[in-house]
Chain A
Amino acid sequence: MDLRRVLAPKEEIPAGLRLALGALTGISFLALWSWLTYGGLVRPDFLAPPHEVLTAALRGLERGTLLRHIQASLLVILSGFALASVIAVPLGILMGSFQVVAAVLEPITGFMRYLPVSALIPLLILWVGIGIEEKIAVIFLGTFFQQLVLISDVSARVSKDLIDCSYTLGASRGQVVTRVLFPACLPGVMDNLRVTMGWAWTYLVVAELVAANSGLGYMILNAMRGLFTDVILLGIFVIGLLGLLTDQIFKWIRRWLVPWSPAF
């Protein structure tokens, strides 16, 4: 193995090396964590040692509470995300290719994109209450406007020649939209849905900040009151793992849905 090649930009590295480096990161992380906790450098109510997090996990699984929290969070995330996607995908595609739609929507999206979702929570509570609707609404608002902007970008990048070519093949405007514009956007849409799915997870704790009695975010916030750092860490790990899992699922869906477009 030539070290100079491995350390050159944009060069492929062997699969074995890639795995080894990944494993090394994981092991180093665990080692650092163990050293800090078992070595007594950090107090356990600041940072729980690994085995306590593991027992917290087993305890949660045994009592069924962990699964309940996971279910509750998944329901919130998936509903909010699905709702946002169902509206944002078609609207974004139209926005990127029809200047009329863009002109109507741009003032709102431009404004909403930069608003922290947490700033809207008081209003959301007033409008939809403190039930699951409010939590779904937080995820919705956190992803919808980002999706709209990203997908409108995808749509705007569809080549004009491709559209013009469809006209010369006899396509009507409606056919151009449904048979050319939509499929042409599909790979970009899938990529951006995957990215925004990741962002949806990052809004989970914010969503469960108010009046929740289940969910991973709630679990973390509740543990904070009793300084149960083991449960806090457990919540963080579970969110990370679920995020990773959904990301992988999106990769699979993309490969299955758009086999003709190489993923990156």
Chain B
Amino acid sequence: MGGGKLVVDRVRMAFARRRGEPVVALEEISLTVAEEEFVAIVGPSGCGKSTLLRLVAGLMEPTSGRMLLDGREIRGPSADRGMVFQSYTLFPWLTVQRNVEFGLSLRGVPAAERRAIARRFIAEVGLEGFEDAYPEQLSGGMRQRTALARALANDPEILLMDEPFGALDSQTRQLMQELLLGIWEHAHKTVLFITHDIDEAILLADRVLVMTARPGRIKKELVIELPRPRDISLLTSPAFMAYKREVLELLHGEALRAERGASEVGAGG
């Protein structure tokens, strides 16, 4: 496996439990994400999606296997892998401006430069005029916009997103999807994006990976050959529906398996 910005090579993750067998969250998972590619991962609840992303972020160590970014092995977290969480993770004591500057200030970027970069990304996510607001005063959508700007301002090699719009209402979510599409289509970041929302995955991604129920593996890979630039109107097109049907069927089978698996684990453990 040479090519690929991000290479996940036979990564296995088992969580030790105080009693009983370890929980195997991921079973020998392998995937690559190419430079400037947008890859979305969908899978049944509890299949290890967040675990996979946290491993890539370096927030946990895999039980076995290895991960490479630009050919270098991932060891621990670093600013070259930015992450946006589902939960609100803005620093409540900092204004929008200061939140976006946070990563830069850690690296000692001079104040004037920091301010200019932050302004640019605040504008990019459409939050001009809210620079001096505290997170407490922002709606959920605005908080996630700020979190996105904060991650982008750090100029990471890859952007990891764990259901970033999962807590938002459906209208706000659509706005955020359009925003992300716009940003990605001209910034061309490499993105690994996790979601429950099939529409979201197909709309945004170049490739959708469908995971199996726990222990998670990649069940199927779909290359989404919808033209770019994309927008919300695609959601009702026949090509989109065809992809959606395929993903739905794959996921439905896995959901059934997950239910059965859960009851077996329950009976066995």
Whether the pair A260, B106 counts as a contact (CB closer than 8 A) is no
Cβ–Cβ < 8 Å partners of A167 in chain B = 57-59, 77
Q: Is B102 an interface residue (CB 8 A)?
A: yes
Q: Is A67 an interface residue (CB 8 A)?
A: no
Q: Is A253 an interface residue (CB 8 A)?
A: no
Q: Which residues of chain B from 146 to 163 have a CB within 8 Å of any chain A CB?
A: 150-151, 154, 160
Interface residues on B, range: 20 to 34
Interface size for A (C-beta < 8 A) is 21
List 17 interface pairs A-B (beta carbons < 8 Å), by A numbering: A164-B54, A165-B83, A167-B58, A167-B59, A167-B77, A168-B57, A168-B59, A168-B79, A168-B81, A168-B151, A169-B154, A170-B154, A171-B106, A184-B91, A260-B136, A261-B92, A261-B93
Whether the pair A260, B92 counts as a contact (CB closer than 8 A) is yes
Which residue of B is nearest A175, CB measured?
A: B106
**Residue of B58, B78, B89, B135 touching A165 (CB-CB under 8 A):** B89
Q: Is B134 an interface residue (CB 8 A)?
A: yes
Which residue of A is nearest B89, CB measured?
A: A165
With both chains docked as a complex, state the minimum distance between the C-beta of B133 and any C-beta of chain A, in angstroms.
10
Which residue of A is nearest B92, CB measured?
A: A260
Complex A-B, nearest 4 residue pairs according to Cβ-Cβ distance, in ascending order: A170-B79, A167-B77, A169-B103, A165-B89
Q: Which residues of chain B from 74 to 90 have a CB within 8 Å of any chain A CB?
A: 77-79, 81-83, 85, 87, 89
Whether the pair A261, B136 counts as a contact (CB closer than 8 A) is yes
Whether the pair A183, B91 counts as a contact (CB closer than 8 A) is yes
Whether the pair B106, A170 counts as a contact (CB closer than 8 A) is yes
Q: Which residues of chain A from 95 to 151 have a CB within 8 Å of any chain B CB?
A: none
With both chains docked as a complex, state the minimum distance between the C-beta of A12 and any C-beta of chain B, in angstroms.
20
Complex Cα gap A221–B79 (Å): 63
Whether the pair B102, A260 counts as a contact (CB closer than 8 A) is no
Q: Is B228 an interface residue (CB 8 A)?
A: no
Which residue of B is nearest A179, CB measured?
A: B106
Complex Cα gap A260–B96 (Å): 12
Cβ–Cβ < 8 Å partners of A171 in chain B = 106
Q: Is A32 an interface residue (CB 8 A)?
A: no
**Residue of B81, B91, B107, B134 touching A180 (CB-CB under 8 A):** B91
> For chain A, what secondary structure do more than half of its interface residues adopt (helix, strand, loop), or is it mixed?
helix
- Tell whether A164 pairs with B57 under 8 Å between CB atoms, given A170-B106, A183-B93: yes
Q: Is A2 an interface residue (CB 8 A)?
A: no
Whether the pair B87, A159 counts as a contact (CB closer than 8 A) is yes
**Residue of A159, A162, A168, A258 touching B82 (CB-CB under 8 A):** A168
Question: Contact flags (1/0) for B152-183 with A, using CB distance below 8 Å?
Answer: 00100000100000000000000000000000
Complex Cα gap A183–B136 (Å): 15
Cβ–Cβ < 8 Å partners of B54 in chain A = 164
Whether the pair B136, A170 counts as a contact (CB closer than 8 A) is no
Complex Cα gap A170–B77 (Å): 7
With both chains docked as a complex, state the minimum distance between the C-beta of A254 and any C-beta of chain B, in angstroms.
13
- Tell whether A170 pairs with B107 under 8 Å between CB atoms, given A159-B87, A165-B85, A260-B134: yes
Whether the pair A169, B87 counts as a contact (CB closer than 8 A) is no
Whether the pair A159, B89 counts as a contact (CB closer than 8 A) is yes
With both chains docked as a complex, state the minimum distance between the C-beta of A160 and any C-beta of chain B, in angstroms.
9
Which residue of B is nearest A165, CB measured?
A: B89
- Tell whether A169 pairs with B102 under 8 Å between CB atoms, given A159-B87, A161-B85, A164-B59: yes
Cβ–Cβ < 8 Å partners of B150 in chain A = 169
Q: Is A16 an interface residue (CB 8 A)?
A: no
Whether the pair A260, B93 counts as a contact (CB closer than 8 A) is yes
Cβ–Cβ < 8 Å partners of A261 in chain B = 92-93, 136
Cβ–Cβ < 8 Å partners of A190 in chain B = none
With both chains docked as a complex, state the minimum distance between the C-beta of A170 and any C-beta of chain B, in angstroms.
3
With both chains docked as a complex, state the minimum distance between the C-beta of B159 and any C-beta of chain A, in angstroms.
10
Complex Cα gap A170–B104 (Å): 9
Residue among A165, A175, A184 with max Cβ neighbours from chain B (10 Å): A165
Q: Which residues of chain B from 83 to 120 have a CB within 8 Å of any chain A CB?
A: 83, 85, 87, 89, 91-93, 102-103, 106-107
